[in-house]
Amino acid sequence: GESVGLHLPTLSVQEGDNSIINCAYSNSASDYFIWYKQESGKGPQFIIDIRSNMDKRQGQRVTVLLNKTVKHLSLQIAATQPGDSAVYFCAEIGTGGGADGLTFGKGTHLIIQP
């Protein structure tokens, strides 16, 4: 999993399995969260977002879960494919710190095994 402020971890999953990438945040005032995917040599690409008044949001093959009680965010990718190999990182937007309180995690490297 990933925590804002820690070194880049790696998650290895079999093709076709579900992947779960975790993110712990520390700012309880954060009210908006975004997951990004970054492929090698490319810029980060928006995947899905969630606001603090929700605890779950679904997209195409992806689901984001937010647990405000323990300040934890997760990204679930269903039926992982080779094209899902990338670094995934979360970003939080709150009321303090950085530009408009925007803080990025360092990312999790997702590796897909054939």
Q: Scanning residues 28 to 67, which ones bind another protein (CB under 8 A)?
A: 32, 34, 36, 41-46, 49
Print the SS3 string covering 70-112: CCEEEEEECCCCHHHCEEEEEEEECCCCCHHHEEECCCEEEEE
Interior angle at CA 20, CA 11 and CA 28, nearest 5: 110
Tell whether residue 73 is a contact of another protein (CB under 8 A).
no
Tell whether residue 17 is a contact of another protein (CB under 8 A).
no
Q: How many CB atoms lie within 10 A of CB 29?
A: 12
Minimum separation from the CB atom of position 14 to another protein (A): 26
Q: Which stretch binds another protein (CB under 8 A): 13-21, 65-73, 74-82, 101-109?
A: 101-109
Residues lying near another protein in the complex (CB under 8 A): 7-8, 32, 34, 36, 41-46, 49, 89, 91, 93, 98-100, 102, 104-107
